[in-house]
Amino acid sequence: MRTPVTVKLFAGLGPKGWLAVALAALVGWVLVPMAHLLLPEGHPLHVSTYAITLIGKILCYAVVAVAMDLIWGFGGILSLGHGVFFALGGYSFGMYLMRQIGREGSYQSDLPDFMVFLDWKELPWYWTGSDHFLWALFLAVAVPGLIAWIFGYFAFRSRIKGVYFSIITQALTYAAMLFFFRNETGFGGNNGFTDFKRILGYSVTAPETRLALFGLSVALLLGALILGRVLIASKFGKVLTAIRDSESRVMFIGYNPLHYKLFIWTLSAMLCGLAGALYVPQVGIINPSEMSVANSIEIAIWVAVGGRGTLIGPVLGAGIVNLSKSWFTTSFPEYWLFFLGLLFILVTLYLPQGVVGAWAKLRSRKAAKPAAPAPAPSVKAAATPEPEMPAGSAAKGASA
Amino acid sequence: MKRIFLLLSLVLGLCATSVRADVDPAALKALGADDFDAKSGAIATLVAAGDADARRILTALSDDALAVAGERIVIVAGDQVLDAATGAAIKPTPASPESISLNNSLRQQVNSALAALRLLSADRAERLASAKSLLSDMGEGATLLPLLDKALKQEQDGEIKPILVQLRAQASLASPDAALRLQAVKDLSNSASPAVKALLLGLLEKQGDTFVEPDEKVRAEAQFAIKAIDSRLVWSDLSGRLFTGISLGSILLLAALGLAITYGVMGVINMAHGELLMVGAYSAYAMQGLFRSHLPDYVDYYVVAAVPVAFFAAALVGMAMERTVIRHLYGRPLETLLATWGLSLVLIQAARLLFGAQNVEVANPAWMSGGLQLAENLSLPWNRLVIVAFSGFVLLVVWLMMNKTRLGMFVRAVTQNRPMAGCVGVPTARIDTLAFGIGSGIAGLGGVALSQIANVGPDMGQGYIVDSFMVVVLGGVGQLAGAVWAALGLGVVTKFLEGWAGAVIAKILVLVFIIVFIQKRPQGLFALKGRFVE
Amino acid sequence: MQNRRTFLKAAVLSASIAAIGGLSSSAYAADTIKVGILHSLSGTMAISETALKETALMTIEEINAKGGVLGKKLEPVVVDPASDWPKFAEKARQLLSQDKVAVTFGCWTSVSRKSVLPVYKELNGLLFYPVQYEGEELEKNVFYTGAAPNQQAIPAVEYLMSKEGGSAKRFVLLGTDYVYPRTTNKILRAFLKSKGVADADIIEEYTPFGHSDYQTIIAKIKKFAGEGKKTAVISTINGDSNVPFYKELGNAGLKAKDVPVVAFSVGEEELRGVDAKPLVGHLAAWNYFMTVKNPENEKFIKMYRDWAKKAKLPKPETVVTNDPMEATYVGIHMWAQAVEKAKSTDTDKVIAAMAGQTFKAPSGFTLKMDETNHHLHKPVFIGEIKADGQFNTVWKTKGPIRAQPWSPFIPGNEGKQKL
């Protein structure tokens, strides 16, 4: 007998989880907008436009981190090319934003400025329909999804994994970056898309639009977390974790890992695409450097810092790394790279389970103190994972 | 241009009578002026004088050694400062003489004047050099015809004479006599020079409705000559392209060889590999500085000294990395990847703080500058030739070490089966450190090679990391032969694609090719043989 | 269990992050005028932009030493956008809305300028952009103190075609594949066509960012140069790739007198990283050279050398000055003059006061801010590279020339020369 989806959904999170979701939604949809619009500037609780755009951007990053965690933390596949899916989503939606500029560009043409400049007389075929909001949104999901599916199908079918897979995803993002840098590709070359004017007729700089985008980012993040939670709790999630821990054994039992990996890989790419679509109107620019190799590796570090194999970890990681980046680049610009580099090293050496893992360790130690001095077995297992399980068995400890 | 050559013919006459006159002070003064027209006139005056003094001054001018010190025009020769007019040393040495500058057309004027003067010199080597330099510099040179005729009459040397014949043929292309032109074109069809081809092409051009060359016979002959030259150019062109591919391949090999070892032995993807290249390159920079300040006489050999220094510097950094970080992450390759990325960021920023954010200057030593002229249109740069040879040398050393030494045997054993190697008493932990050190040291050697052709700066390593990974992945794990074939193959394929589709597309195509190739052969070109479940 | 709790934590955390964001707006000091400096100090652009940050700090100190502006001291606010384009927009917003700077001096690449533009328009800020660029832009909130294409590229090509410059008849347009080279080459192609150069006598070649292997391209240039009349190369290769390009050029035996290369992105700073001996005779076109001789330039160079010692820059005795540094210096002084004239730091008033502002610049000319198009009138110098990495001026304009941000060589630009 199959359980209805709604029941599954509800049971997947439990009452406390739903309470947390409701709280987060309250903050994101009601409190922040109120604090931004109603409180005067200078009030201690006023949320400035700067804060809204900064946090909105980080929320999008958090969604990417969650997507990354789905395949890395739970699927054991480290992608060094997730930036490409994020950017593809961004570009797809960016096309719509470019078309919305209409004739307000500096050449007063129906075509985007960079095309006028390249002497193009009409839109290239892949821009067809880009003036429709829904089509752009569909593209933002479908393009990364399709590319991920094709790439994943061949890669997983050939049983490429581990470091090899990471390296070829890196080749993918590098090739894509070079491709988008070309002016003839038709996406504005190095300058990419900027100077957006409106979405669905609303000005992109209006506070209401900003708040709507912010609210949508909150919603997307919550949605991604709920989806992740439900997936992981399902039978699918269990098989996926089993594949991560020992793919050959799962195969010998009779499962075909291809479908499981392919599904989670494609889903992850689609989530990234959506995050990219929300990111572009908030930061106001999309350019091929989003596909740079370094950016994609940084995504992995968000997840590692927060804690792999937990869902909340990546969100924390994205927040911590990006907020400290904003702070460091203002206060100690020379030392930002030292900090980031040391963070990479120390987290992988001493916090293999990230902040969330460390927190759990600390708590369990506290809890164990009055009873017995021995640490909890699950944590110990997590701290020294067997060599065969590259991604670590973190999930067992934190998401059980 | 015409004026210069008219003056030159004047020179001829003067040379013959060899009048000894003092250097015209007004002309000397004009050389120091800011006005280029005045300079040109002054040079012409000196050429007209044509004596030893004038030659000395012109030579100094073309070597950038002529300078203004206060009111005087001087020649700077090492530590000494000579008076330009008399050639006598000036005491006390004037402070900071300011060198007299030329622009390109003046430089051309000075050089061809000097070359033409030397054509009649008594010294054979000097005549040969000037004839050769005129070969590429003369242009149409119809006005030089009488001078060439005279030189040809005097010339007895078997090597110089054919060059003069060529020069004369070039100069008589514009002659009003059609028969002479026809003969000239026929003479030129033996050439393999693109400059000559350009001249012949000029004949076939149309000006309005009429051809530049009015005579149909000459045109037909020119067409035939161009074809003959082209067929000679094709081969050197093709071999030139092959060489560029091999050269790129050898650089890729040097960049990737160290990575192949560390990856093969430990399954560790070292993202800081590019920064080890950087350490090697900065070692070369440091050695250059050291030689410049302490051993200025041997400065051309700093590169040789940099080789061991770079090896040990990079090896030390690598072993420190292994001891402090990588050691603790064995068996967790994906995490090593992140930690080493962190290491690379730290190293980049450290270089930036130590040496500044700007690129630093690393000069090619004299023996690595310029090129080996194999044909008129094929010159192989010395720095690239040296690097190709150097990568062959490094490869040989690595091969010997891996196959002929005990250490190499241990490294291979650990690569193939770590637990079994440990069981029979191989100290795997020490082997790891040593292997990592050797791999890093080789990266340092690669860095020295890179410093001779590319930027040396904090970010330099980032540009090579993806490429080196591609080589290793394509070649197959832990296989030297694989790395060699992959590097050379990628180099040659990239260069041929570049010629056909441009640099950007070529790069994309190569990456796509690798992605597709890995689908077919996940273990690379040369897989380790054996049975694996994973 | 744990997971549910973490959800709760997340909610609390996101609320607190939001609160921190709101609280962090800093207090607004009234006794100084804040000046933003928005240059990358890390990442790929640090190579070029760090020197501009130093120049800006030096100039601010110079102005402060003379009593500041409107009787107030200038207070620099330095931020690092880390060569990350979205970060430029974020930092620009921070400077304008949190730090409340009166003016920002910053950006180098076109994409960084395009990234911050919407922010400056939205919050009505003021940006001074100091680098030569491709034009095709004119914004109320920006003052462009670098060269437009007609103040750099076109005079250089005219020089190459002149008798003095070698009467070049064939051209290789070589660049890194991004907007500045593309635009410049497009303008140049149209210009060359208007001068009667046939399409067959022009080739365009582009390389990716950070390209380091110029063998194929040099071979192509050699072949092209061997197919006919006098050939010249016009290079818009981006900073980092210049070293490998020039090294290859030198070793392949292409001499400046055979095939001169004129570059628009190679200045004194870039040549510090090259052994310049093989490059002697190749050309560059700028609006300022360090070797220009006049009292203002001597003062400027000395001031920067002293500053380098004081700021403990690596190897202070070898620092050089270049065109964008001069443009930064001129920009800050002109802004200070305009503020004095407007008696206010209000953006609109300063913009009005900037029109027609003049300043005696280190280039030796008195530069004027155009009344209508926000660009400086600048002189053009063409210099040949000397063995010590400096330039020897071989040609210069009689006086400053007016910028044409909308190139007349691009169709559709007629009559767009003012705001």
Give how far the C-alpha of residue B183 lies from the chain's centroid of Cα atoms, to the nearest Å: 38
Q: How far apart are CA A179 and CA A317, in angstroms?
A: 31
Say if the Cβ atoms of B454 and C248 lie within 8 Å.
no
Residue B12 has a pLDDT of 47
DSSP string of A210-265, one letter each residue: HHHHHHHHHHHHHHHHHHHHHHHHSHHHHHHHHHHH-HHHHHHHT--HHHHHHHHH
Q: What share of chain C is helix, strand, coil (3-state, %, to 5)?
A: 40, 20, 40
pLDDT at B418 over 90: no
Q: How far apart are CA C295 and CA C298, in angstroms?
A: 5
Inter-residue contact B178 to B203 (CB < 8 Å): no
In the structure encoding, which two tokens stand for residue B307, read together?
A: 């080789």
> Which residues of chain C are within 8 Å of residue B383 when distances are taken between CB atoms?
247, 251
Question: 3-class SS at B121?
Answer: coil
**Would an 8 Å CB–CB cutoff place B370 in contact with chain C?**
yes
pLDDT at A379 over 50: no
pLDDT at B516 over 50: yes
Q: How far is A11 from chain B (nearest CA, A)?
A: 34
Residue C377 has a pLDDT of 95
Residue B461: count of CB within 10 angstroms of its CB: 28
pTM of the predicted structure, to 2 decimals = 0.84
pLDDT at B66 over 90: no
> Which residues of chain C are within 8 Å of residue A28 when distances are taken between CB atoms?
14
Residue A387: count of CB within 10 angstroms of its CB: 11
Confidence of residue B84 (pLDDT cuts 50, 70, 90): confident
User: Dihedral sign, CA of B49, B51, B57, B62?
Assistant: positive
Strands C283-286 and C381-385: antiparallel
pLDDT at B173 over 80: no
Residue A272: count of CB within 10 angstroms of its CB: 34
Compute CA distances B213 → B170, B176, C124, C170, whole Å: 14, 10, 66, 21
Q: How far is B93 from chain C (nearest CA, A)?
A: 21
In the structure encoding, which two tokens stand for residue A224, read together?
A: 């991604």
Inter-residue contact A217 to A282 (CB < 8 Å): yes
In the structure encoding, which two tokens stand for residue A146, read together?
A: 């399709």
Question: What type of residue sits at position B166?
Answer: Q
Compute CA distances B188 → B25, B62, B160, C345, whole Å: 44, 31, 16, 73
Closest CA to B348 of B285, B275, B446: B275
Confidence of residue A377 (pLDDT cuts 50, 70, 90): very low
| Of residues C176 and B389, more confidently modeled | B389
Q: How far apart are CA A284 and CA A205, in angstroms?
A: 10
Say if the Cβ atoms of C258 and B357 lie within 8 Å.
no
Residue B138 has a pLDDT of 61
In the structure encoding, which two tokens stand for residue B148, read together?
A: 């060439």
Q: In angstroms, what is the C-alpha Rg of chain C? A: 23
Closest CA to C244 of C206, C219, C212, C282: C212
pLDDT at B211 over 90: no
Tell me the pLDDT of chain A averaged across its residues.
85
**Would an 8 Å CB–CB cutoff place A300 in contact with chain B?**
yes
**If chain C, 419 residues long, is cut into consecutive pieces of 10 residues, what is the mean pLDDT of each piece?**
48 46 44 93 80 95 94 93 89 92 94 92 95 90 94 92 85 88 90 91 86 87 81 87 84 82 89 79 93 93 94 85 96 96 94 94 94 94 90 90 89 71
Choosing among A71, A182, A344, A388, which should be mutated to test the B contact, i.e. which has the most B CBs within 10 A?
A344
Burial class (CB in 10 A: 0-12, 13-18, 19+), B60: buried
Nearest residue in C to B371, CA atom? C251
Q: What are phi and psi of A14, to 5 degrees?
A: 80, 160
Q: What percent of chain A has pLDDT over 90?
A: 44
Which residue has 């030569």 as its token pair?
A: C132
- How many Cα atoms sit within 13 Å of A59 on the Cβ side? 37
Inter-residue contact A315 to A61 (CB < 8 Å): no
Say if the Cβ atoms of C216 and B498 lie within 8 Å.
yes
* Alpha helix segments (H runs only) across C66-198: 85-93, 110-122, 153-161, 179-194
- Tens digit of each residue's pLDDT (9 = 90 or more) over B398-417: 999 988 999 989 988 888 88
**Would an 8 Å CB–CB cutoff place C16 in contact with chain A?**
no
Q: Which CATH superfamily is domain C153-263 in?
A: Response regulator (3.40.50.2300)
Domain ranges of chain B: 2-118, 128-214, 237-461
Say if the Cβ atoms of A45 and C3 lie within 8 Å.
no
Tell me the pLDDT of chain B averaged across its residues.
81
Mean pLDDT, range A132-151, rounded to an integer = 95
Closest CA to C52 of C140, C157, C131: C131
pLDDT at B338 over 50: yes
**Would an 8 Å CB–CB cutoff place B33 in contact with chain C?**
no
* CATH 3.40.50.2300, domain C29-148+293-378, yes or no: yes
Q: How far apart are CA C16 and CA C7, in angstroms?
A: 14
Output the 3-class SS for A62-118: HHHHHHHHHHHCCCCCCCCCHHHHHHHHHHHHHHHHHHHCHHHCCCCCCCCHHHHHC
Closest CA to B65 of B112, B88, B98: B98
Inter-residue contact B217 to B225 (CB < 8 Å): no
Q: How far apart are CA B526 and CA B482, in angstroms?
A: 5
Residue A193 has a pLDDT of 92
Peptide bond into B94 cis (omega under 30): no
Q: From the list C166, C251, C269, which residue is nearest B105 (CB)?
A: C166
Closest CA to A65 of A224, A186, A216: A224
Inter-residue contact C175 to C235 (CB < 8 Å): yes
Choosing among A156, A179, A183, A345, which should be mutated to test the B contact, i.e. which has the most B CBs within 10 A?
A345
Q: How far is B310 from chain A (nearest CA, A)?
A: 24
Residue B223 has a pLDDT of 85
Q: From the list A27, A50, A287, which residue is nearest C111 (CB)?
A: A287
> Which residues of chain C are within 8 Å of residue A46 when distances are taken between CB atoms?
22, 25
Compute CA distances C16 → A30, A42, A207, C12, C21, whole Å: 15, 18, 21, 6, 8
Length of chain A: 400
Say if the Cβ atoms of B504 and A155 lie within 8 Å.
no
- List the subunits that have 3+ CB pairs under 8 angstroms with C: A, B
- Tens digit of each residue's pLDDT (9 = 90 or more) over B174-207: 777 888 888 888 888 877 777 777 778 777 777 6
> Which residues of chain C are within 8 Å of residue B359 when distances are taken between CB atoms?
47, 240, 243, 272-273
Residue C269 has a pLDDT of 86
Closest CA to A185 of A176, A196, A174: A176
- Tens digit of each residue's pLDDT (9 = 90 or more) over A257-278: 999 999 999 999 999 999 999 9
Confidence of residue A374 (pLDDT cuts 50, 70, 90): very low
ipTM (interface pTM): 0.82
Q: How far apart are CA B85 and CA B29, in angstroms?
A: 11
Confidence of residue A383 (pLDDT cuts 50, 70, 90): very low
Confidence of residue A38 (pLDDT cuts 50, 70, 90): confident
- Tens digit of each residue's pLDDT (9 = 90 or more) over A203-256: 988 888 999 999 999 999 999 999 999 999 899 999 999 999 988 899 999 999
Q: From the list C177, C229, C314, which residue is nearest B504 (CB)?
A: C177
Q: What are phi and psi of C263, to 5 degrees?
A: -115, 145
Q: Where are the beta strands (DSSP E) in B221-334?
A: none
- Report the run of H or E that residue B466 belongs to, with start and end: helix B462-475
DSSP string of C222-242, one letter each residue: HHHHTTSS-EEEEEE--GGGH
A34: alpha, beta or left? (left if phi > 0; alpha if psi -120 to 50): alpha
Question: 3-class SS at C381?
Answer: strand
